[in-house]
Amino acid sequence: MNKKQKRNLTRILVSLALMIVLRFVPVGNEAIRFALYMVPYLIVGYDILYKAFFSVKNREPFDENFLMAVATIGAILLGEYQEGVEVMLFYQIGEWFQSYAVGKSRRNITELMDITPQYANRETEDGIEEIDPGEARIGDILVVKVGEKIPLDGTITQGSTSLNTSALTGESKPKDVTVGDAVISGCINMTSPIKIKAEKLYDDSTVAKVLDMIENATSNKSKSEDFITKFARYYTPAVCYSALALAILPPLFIRFILHGESSFGTWIFRALTFLVISCPCALVISIPLTFFAGIGGASKAGVLIKGSNYLEALSKARYVAFDKTGTMTKGVFEVTTIHNSGLNREELLEYAAYCEALSNHPIARSILKEYGKTIDKDRIVSVKEIAGKGIEALIDDKSIFIGNEKLMNDHNIPIQECQEDGTIVHVAIDNTYKGHIHVGDRIKENAASSIAELKESGVKKTIMLTGDEETSARKVAESIGIDEVFAGLLPQDKVGCLEQILQRKNENETVAFVGDGINDAPVISLADVGIAMGTLGSDAAIEAADIVLMDDDPIKVPKAIRIARKCMNIVYENIIFAIGVKLIALVFSALGMAEMWMAIFADVGVMVIAVLNAIRALGVKDL
């Protein structure tokens, strides 16, 4: 508990103790009795009265503080001192439970924010200096000792170790890394000191982006939250005027129309009970808290959701489309075979490597790795990348085309067919076909499981959108159970295909797209819910995405959907429960069948139950 919660709990306990004493110590003098009851009332309720006063002063009186103040002061003026104090006391007990629940959810977020590195050890000519991570620059060599957090994204230049990535990915299993491996900020070094070369500034690092996404998540409200906000705006003044009418109209009607006897005090007390019951705290507090808890729970599982509107949209996902490379496959390519024609194998590989020397694409890296020699950049005259097709280059005064079948067809170069599965990189020199290089990729371990779980969860169709050639794409799709494949797509073609998928859905259904590359950013932005693979994903894809998976595991996609659906179920449960109980209690109150304890339960009791139910959204272990 924080200081404020402890202070409020002390006020509650002191007031409760005084009420117990007053209940068993009779006081005959009315003035003394009034004064004694005012002590616990003011101890427990002074902040509510203070807020109510200023809300009236600011001409915005219709809130829960105003309702509580009017109801309790009214009860006291009618001589019901005990009722007035008890209503305020139980309301504050409910507020304390609500504060505790919010605090529990916020602690969940705070744990995630503990990934922030407090310092970085920069290697200099004079030794190691401790600096703020924000002072580090790209290219700096940083020493990370055992137990320390990696301060910036970078690549290991010395040492091997195991990293604790659980705060970022939700995965408890340590990750083994060595020289040449990319590492991200926020991970904890567990076994051996390492040196890393910083490749991003702190403001662009994974830690900074994660914290920014979490801090801004509450700004994107769901339709349910917007509804509750608008509902409370009109509901509260409506019940205030209804309570006023209940206090005045029935006794006037009975006295002057029916010529009967009716006490204004009785109807005023009913109106005050009506006010206590009508307070919309359960809805106003529990619905945002449920989303907040859901986003916090998802964060612990390595699923970062940028707002409750995206959580709500994800719960309705019935079509899920995937990119292939780096999303459903590992994106770890290896050259498996080289088929040369009119050129020896080494020369074919050499020209291919020189064409790919300036590219950062996984296929390019695999060819450069297979070549394994230093690139003499003076031999490269020009290089032009042709989106979705390949590369056109001028090397050693020779015109070279390297890429897929489309590139060869564009230049009327006949190719040699290859029956192997995977990516085929064709090579032509001076408009003459010289052979092709086969590059293979591996499917991720959980790819098939993720598709199976999506279908079990009610997703109507799973789809693959890829720029790879059709044979390879279909084989991958069939092996993991994807329903539909669109292959050989340029970035603009992916957008067109997704637009077709968006036209299939019903009004209450959404389409999610999962991708990782920079060419996926337009499709991620277009989808109802864009999901980016975070750790290996490009900055553009993460920026465009609504949801980021921190460990690139596709099994997190069905888990994210289950989290979203659990959260929305809790939201609907709270809405139905809170409104249902209040409507029943309001009817009883208007008919004079509701005592003040029923009013207290309909307000504070419902709020506490709804808040405790909302906390369930934090639990994601069994999903």
User: Any idea of the CA torsion for 329, 331, 335, 340, to the nearest 10 degrees?
Assistant: 90
Strand intervals (E) in 475-577? 484-486, 510-515, 529-533, 547-549
- Measure the CA–CA gap between 161 and 140, rounded to whole angstroms: 20
Cα dihedral 249→253→255→259 (10° resolution) = 180
Cα 140 to Cα 131: distance, rounded to the nearest angstrom:
12
Question: Can you point out the beta strands (E) in 119-245?
Answer: 120-124, 127-131, 141-144, 154-158, 161-164, 175-177, 182-183, 188-189, 194-198
Neighbours of 600 (CB within 10 A): 22
Two tokens at 589?
């109150």
Q: In what order do the strands lie in the sheet with 398-403?
A: 334-340, 432-440, 423-429, 398-403, 390-395, 380-386
Distance CA 207, CA 185 (A): 6
| Strands in 37-189 per DSSP E | 120-124, 127-131, 141-144, 154-158, 161-164, 175-177, 182-183, 188-189
- Residue type at 620? V
Which single residue is written with the structure tokens 């809805």? 283
CA distance 155 to 141: 10
Structure tokens, 593? 């069948």
For 91, the token pair is 């309301």
Q: What is the DSSP string of 80-120?
A: -HHHHHHHHHHHHHHHHHHHHHHHHHHHHHHHHHTTS-S-E
By annotation, the residues acting in catalysis are: 323
**308-315 vs 223-256: helix axis angle to the nearest 10?**
100
What is the secondary structure of 472-493 as a DSSP string? HHHHHHHHHT-SEEE-S--HHH
Measuring CA to CA, how many Å separate 502 from each of 467, 529, 547? 20, 11, 19
Closest among 550, 64, 430 to 275, alpha carbons compared: 64
Q: Which residues pair with 386 in a beta bridge?
A: 390
CB 601 within 8 A of CB 281: no
